[in-house]
Amino acid sequence: MLSAVGIVSEYNPFHNGHLYQLQRAKQITGADIVVAVMSGNWLQRGEPAIYDKWERTRAAINNGVDIVIELPFFSAVQPSHIFSTGAVRLITAMNCRWLAFGAENPNIDYLKLIKNQPERDASFRQFDRPYASIFQDYLKKKTGIQLNQPNDILAFGYSNANFNLGSPLNLVPIQRIGSDHNQDKLSPSGLIASASAIRNAIHSDLVSEVNKFVPRSTFSMIQGQRPITWNDFWPLLRFELVEAPISQLHQIYQMTEGIEYRLKRCAIKADTFKTFLHLVKTKRYTYTRIQRLCTYVLLHATEAQMLNQPNYLRLLGFSKNGQVYLNQIKNKLKLPLITKVNEEVVKNWLQMDFGAGMLFQMINNKSQDYYRHPLIIGN
Amino acid sequence: MLSAVGIVSEYNPFHNGHLYQLQRAKQITGADIVVAVMSGNWLQRGEPAIYDKWERTRAAINNGVDIVIELPFFSAVQPSHIFSTGAVRLITAMNCRWLAFGAENPNIDYLKLIKNQPERDASFRQFDRPYASIFQDYLKKKTGIQLNQPNDILAFGYSNANFNLGSPLNLVPIQRIGSDHNQDKLSPSGLIASASAIRNAIHSDLVSEVNKFVPRSTFSMIQGQRPITWNDFWPLLRFELVEAPISQLHQIYQMTEGIEYRLKRCAIKADTFKTFLHLVKTKRYTYTRIQRLCTYVLLHATEAQMLNQPNYLRLLGFSKNGQVYLNQIKNKLKLPLITKVNEEVVKNWLQMDFGAGMLFQMINNKSQDYYRHPLIIGN
């Protein structure tokens, strides 16, 4: 019987830090198989993936991941507590024994945080600050623990979700090394850089500088693909914000406190996405929150669609070992494993992923769902 | 006291045939002033204007029109009976004494047609044919008159609308000369060509061939402006059809008989507007009807918005003589004359024209309404 460790990722794009994390996860746990639950074409911070989910799946499997499962849009493009809950459910549904994740401070007492967190209700907010920072200050006051690094926040999310599900997974926090997640530029020393520094270099036409920070297969992908950015979707976003009536915009998930009026007014004025973001920004709304909201606008996403728990396993690709593991678990799966996409499957399961994929397809002309089979790589 | 003759037009673009019609109208009526009620940025057949409303206003005034009033979107992008009703109301509201219009057969007995037309109710239809052709066959059977030429159909519309309003206008049908309205190509002989033949030449990069068929100012416009086509809006249309839920598409004006499902399915498949139109086309739906529907989708237009009667006069431009006439009538106007556009004016009057203009602005980067004043031309 093969055992599996789960990893939650965006692989945007897959780099040496991801490779290190994956190897450490196998080393620490002794797992035979790595299952990655990966965001599809849109990411947690409300941005399009730099390359589509198929390219990123290929890079992941080429570098040691055995199975890639798509994290559904309604979990992937969400604040960390919803994101991590969806991911933990899928890792669990794939019968993984462990969940490994990077953390800036892997020795944090997650249980202490879990037990001291406030209720997430409407009374817990202030109108001049983002929710997350209020939440973190509350925890700091109660526990003395400062939770403000992006991977630590996700680590807490995974721990909390696992705890709420009755702790089906053994958690394996792995110390992040060699890069600051928020570091914007590639550093001359070392072989590990943040994904955002790598993306910035790619967007600035400095592709050759990326070489030493990514595995070879990622570098070929970068050389062969046009990188996608929000600028590609700006004409569509602007169109929708300008032309849709306020009453329709109001129905979008997270369109609260009348921000639809602000978005519309700024879309009429702005002629680039960057200008638009600057016009919309306030103390209360982080760039991430605004970008997520814009992504929901593109997908016409309603609360009913977005407050779903993952109820399917969309298989994007697997290695030969992954195939053995899939055969081992397939009769025990509690969620349907989706390998072929047709109108019926879209209607019943993949509605949002299909819509998110069509957005990509309208830009890069590559089918994202219809007629696509899971990638089978290696031997 | 100056007297005015009204003309209804699209001037898409202004050509020698338009010039001839205008001069004949003045000659026949002895009017001092020509008032044109002109479609804005979107046209009756559900197409974007080849140049924006300001360029077309300039060309019209440069060639003898004294005043240009915008035909509101909710009248302009409509079948002929609604189009002509809106236009006649505005010509009347501008205190014109005459309405001149081109006709293939100016001696048709309009009154006979008016008195013999069927009720426009839901029972009067067949599912395998367009409404207009059933309507025309009915008239033919009752009166012996064949009404199937595009200008004759509009002429009947003007006559009918004028009759319904108590005949405030003297109607002046003018024999069309020198071109077949539906002729696609420029003919080597003559100086008059159809607007569609002229547009085709422009879109085929044969600008120089257009020279002899248009006044000089039109030719400069053509040389200086990028022509707009449906292809410019296809990414936006496709996005909306793919991403909007069926329930939202269903709310669009004229989205009947479940055609929203067909539109969505075809938009997912097609990657050009041309392919899309071919996929959608059926016996029941003419290309014009489909294109109008697509325009409504872009504008998110509902029935409540589209079944309005013109209740304002949007002034796009005037000549010196036009100014004298405006001073003469301004205290007698029964509709507000709109010369300056701000948020309040958009909200109360111009909502749809603003939306139609923003579509253009998102393509050609020229403000269509905010900060625009009527053009004042000539001396």
Spell out the alpha helix ranges (H) of A5-76.
16-29, 53-62, 73-76
Above 0.90 for ipTM, yes or no? yes
pLDDT confidence of residue A121? 65
Q: Which segments within chain A are labelled E, that is strand?
A: 4-9, 33-39, 67-71, 98-103, 170-175, 313-319, 337-338, 375-377
Burial tier of B216 (Cβ tally within 10 Å: 0-12, 13-18, 19+): exposed
pLDDT band at A78 (very low <50, low <70, confident <90, very high): very high
The H or E element that residue B246 is part of is helix B246-249
pLDDT on residue A314: 98
**Residue carrying structure tokens 């500088």:** A209
Q: What is the reported pLDDT for A148?
A: 87
What CA–CA distance (Å, rounded) separates A297 from A236? 10
CATH class of B4-108+147-227+309-377: alpha beta
Q: How far apart are CA A310 and CA A272, in angstroms?
A: 35
CATH architecture of A4-108+149-227+309-377: 3-Layer(aba) Sandwich (3.40)
Task: Residue A52: name the closest of A297, A312, A316, A240 by CA.
Answer: A316
How far is it between the farthest Cα atoms of chain A?
60
Closest partner CB to B362 (pick from A238, A355, A359) = A238
Nearest to B236 among A236, A358, A359 (CB): A236
pLDDT higher than threshold 70 for residue A122: no
Alpha-carbon gap: B236 to the closest alpha carbon of chain A (Å): 6
DSSP 8-state code for residue A318: E
Which residues are CB-contacts of B217 (< 8 A; sequence separation ≥ 6)?
A: B14, B58, B59, B62, B63
- Chain mean position to CA B178: 21
* Separation between Cα atoms, residue A167 and residue A164, nearest integer Å: 7
Q: A102 among the known binding-site residues?
A: yes
Q: Please report the pLDDT score of residue A131 as a whole number.
A: 77
CB A67 within 8 A of CB A333: no
Task: Note whether B353 and B223 are within 8 A (CB).
Answer: no
Q: Do B355 and A242 touch (CB under 8 A)?
A: yes
Would you say residue A186 has pLDDT above 90? no
Per-residue pLDDT, averaged over B55-65, amounts to 97
The 10s digit of each residue's pLDDT in B275-291 is: 999 999 998 889 999 99
Tell me: pLDDT of A20 over 60. Answer: yes
Going by the DSSP 8-state scheme, the letter that residue A283 receives in this structure is S
Tokens of B331: 């205290």
Please name the member of A244, A298, A355 whose beta carbon is closest to the beta carbon of B300.
Answer: A244
CB contact under 8 A, A248 and B300: yes
- Under an 8 A CB cutoff, do B239 and A240 touch? yes
Which pLDDT belongs to residue B132?
Answer: 80
- Check CB contact under 8 Å for B300 and A243: yes
Residue A20 Cα distances to A221, B151, B297, angstroms:
19, 74, 50
**Residue in B closest to A343 by C-alpha:** B265
Nearest CA in chain B to A299: B243
Mutate: best of B41, B239, B261, B271, partner A, most A CBs <10 A: B239
Which one of A239, A248, A355 has the shortest CB-CB distance to B248? Answer: A248
Locate the chain B residue with the closest alpha carbon to A245.
B300
CA distance B300 to chain A (A): 6
What mean pLDDT value characterizes chain B? 93
pLDDT number for residue A133: 83
- Residue B245: list chain A partners with CB under 8 A: 300
Angle at A302 between CA A296 and CA A308, to 5 degrees: 100
Considering only residues B180 and A298, tell me which one the structure prediction assigns the higher pLDDT: A298
Look at B239 and A271 and tell me if their CB atoms are within 8 Å: no
Name chain A contacts of B268, Cβ cutoff 8 Å.
358
Q: Which residue ranges of B make up the annotated binding site for ATP?
A: 8-21, 102, 151, 176-177
Question: Residue B377 is which amino acid?
Answer: I
Distance in angstroms (rounded) separating the CA atoms of residues B356 and B71: 12
- The pLDDT value given to residue B122: 60
* Location of structure tokens 């002429």: B155
Chain A residue set in contact with B, beta carbons under 8 Å: 235-236, 238-240, 242-245, 248, 268, 271, 298-300, 355, 358-359, 362, 365
The answer to which of A179-193, A201-215, A333-347, B151-165 has the lowest mean pLDDT is A179-193
pLDDT at A66: 98
Q: Which of B171, B168, B9 is nearest to B93 (CA)?
A: B168
Closest residue in A to B240 (Cα–Cα): A240
| pLDDT at residue A232 in the model | 98
Question: What Cα–Cα distance (Å) separates residue B124 from each residue in A207, B81, B83, B111, B116?
Answer: 65, 16, 20, 22, 14
- The nearest CA of chain A is from the CA of B226 a distance in Å of 19
What mean pLDDT comes out for the span A168-177? 95
Our CA angle for B120, B126, B129, nearest 5°, is 100
Which residues on neighbouring strands pair with residue B102, listed in sequence order? Answer: B174
A358 → closest Cβ in B242, B300, B355:
B242
A259/A240 Cα distance (integer angstroms)? 15
**How many residue pairs bridge chain A and chain B with CB atoms within 8 Å of each other?**
50
Is the CB of A240 less than 8 angstroms away from the CB of B238? no
Is residue A20 part of an annotated ligand binding site? yes
pLDDT score of B297: 98
Interface with chain A: mutation pick from B243, B251, B276, highest number of A CBs within 10 Å: B243
DSSP A94: T
C-beta neighbour count of A359 within 10 angstroms: 24
pLDDT tens column, B86-105: 999 999 999 999 999 999 99
- Taking contacts as CB-CB distances below 8 angstroms, the residues of chain A near B294 are none
pLDDT tens for each residue of B101-125: 999 999 999 999 999 988 776 666 6
Average pLDDT over residues A338-359: 96
pLDDT at A93: 98
Q: Where are the domains of chain A?
A: 4-108+149-227+309-377, 111-146, 230-306
Digit-coded pLDDT (tens) for B293-317: 999 999 999 999 999 999 999 999 9
Q: Which residues of B are annotated as a binding site?
A: 8-21, 102, 151, 176-177
Q: Percentage of residues in chain A with pLDDT exceeding 90?
A: 85
Gyration radius from chain A CA atoms: 20
| DSSP letters for B275-319 | HHHHHH--SSS-HHHHHHHHHHHHHT-BHHHHSPPP--EEEEEEE
Please check whether residue A47 is in contact with residue A2, taking contact to mean a CB–CB distance below 8 angstroms. no
Chain A CB contacts of B355 under 8 Å are 242-243
> For residue range B206-223, what is the model confidence (pLDDT) as tens digits?
999 999 999 999 999 999
Q: Look at residue A182 and tell me whether its pLDDT is greater than 90.
A: no
| Cα–Cα distance, B355 to B301 (Å, whole number) | 10
A chain contacts of residue B244, beta-carbon cutoff 8 Å: 300
Residue A119: name the closest of A103, A142, A101 by CA: A142
H helices, E strands: number in chain B: 19, 8
pLDDT at A327: 97
Region B66-77 average pLDDT: 98
Residue A170 has pLDDT above 60, yes or no: yes
**C-beta atoms of A358 and B243 within 8 A:** yes
Contact list, B304 vs chain A (CB under 8 Å):
none
User: Could you write out the DSSP letters of every residue in B48-117?
Assistant: B-SS-HHHHHHHHHHTT--EEEEEPHHHHSS-HHHHHHHHHHHHHHTT-SEEEEEESSTT--HHHHHHHP
Residue where the block lists tokens 């809106």: B86
Distance of CA A261 to the CA centre of its chain: 28
Chain A residues in contact with B362 by the CB 8 A cut-off are 235, 238-239, 242
Averaged over B132-140, what is the pLDDT? 86
Is the pLDDT assigned to residue A91 strictly greater than 80?
A: yes
* A16 carries a ligand binding annotation: yes
Closest alpha carbon within chain A to B295: A243
Please name every residue paired with B99 in a beta bridge, in sequence order, or none if there are none. Answer: B6, B171
The token pair that represents A168 in the structure block: 């089906």
Q: Which residues of B touch A244 (CB under 8 A)?
A: 300
Return the pLDDT at B183.
67
Q: Which of A240, A243, A358 minimises the CB distance to B299?
A: A243
State whether A243 and B365 contact (CB < 8 Å): no
Residues of B with CB under 8 A from a CB of A: 235-236, 238-240, 242-245, 248, 268, 271, 298-300, 355, 358-359, 362, 365, 370
